Amino acid sequence: MDTDTRQFADRFTTSLSNAPGLKMWLVRPLQTLLAAGQPVTVDQLAAQAGRPLAEIREALAAMPDTEYDAEGRIIGYGLTFTPTPHRYEVNGRTFYTWCALDTLVFPAILGHTAHVASPCRATGEPVHLAATPDGPTDVEPATAVVSLVTPDAPSSVRVSFCNLVHFFASADAAKDWLAEHPDARVLPVGEAFDVGRPVIEQILAGDTSSDCC
């Protein structure tokens, strides 16, 4: 990673960590349960996280992007059962993710390999890759890039980040979108994964130091 990209990665990590309601310590337990393919109850999450039920309820109350079914069970937080453009197939199950970067970092968090398919935001051309715990492989087209943002005052993870983090078939395909989003940038898929590494490390460490609210 060159100096400019490293500095961008630092800004990205800081910005994401400041997003209201992002509980780093809860991400891995929650996504581990979601990856089993069934809606998650609060009791199940408390057991998986090894935390008191009241603490889990308080954390979820501060996570406005969390998706629930009609019975109040969790069906999405980054990894979701609700269809999005980002298709994420693992262990014979089909899931979706909130953004392009999610597809790259979740395998490192969950310790599995996923097959990813997502359309170029600009052209609709399919982008395919294998996402492994060590990073993406078999990226098609090889020119694919990921858009990333570093908002100064993020309102929530999904609104401020995920809704702006897309796959593009190439940097050239992203030019018009970048013109409309001058604070964003695009990086090759492998470099986008590298930008996400510090966040992966925080989640795996169960780091609560940067939790907000």
Catalytic residues: 99, 102, 162
138: left (phi over 0), alpha (psi -120 to 50) or beta: left
DSSP assignment string, 11-60: HHHHHHHTSTT--HHHHHHHHHHHTTTS-B-HHHHHHHHT--HHHHHHHH
Phi and psi angles of residue 55, each rounded to the nearest 5 degrees, phi first: -65, -40
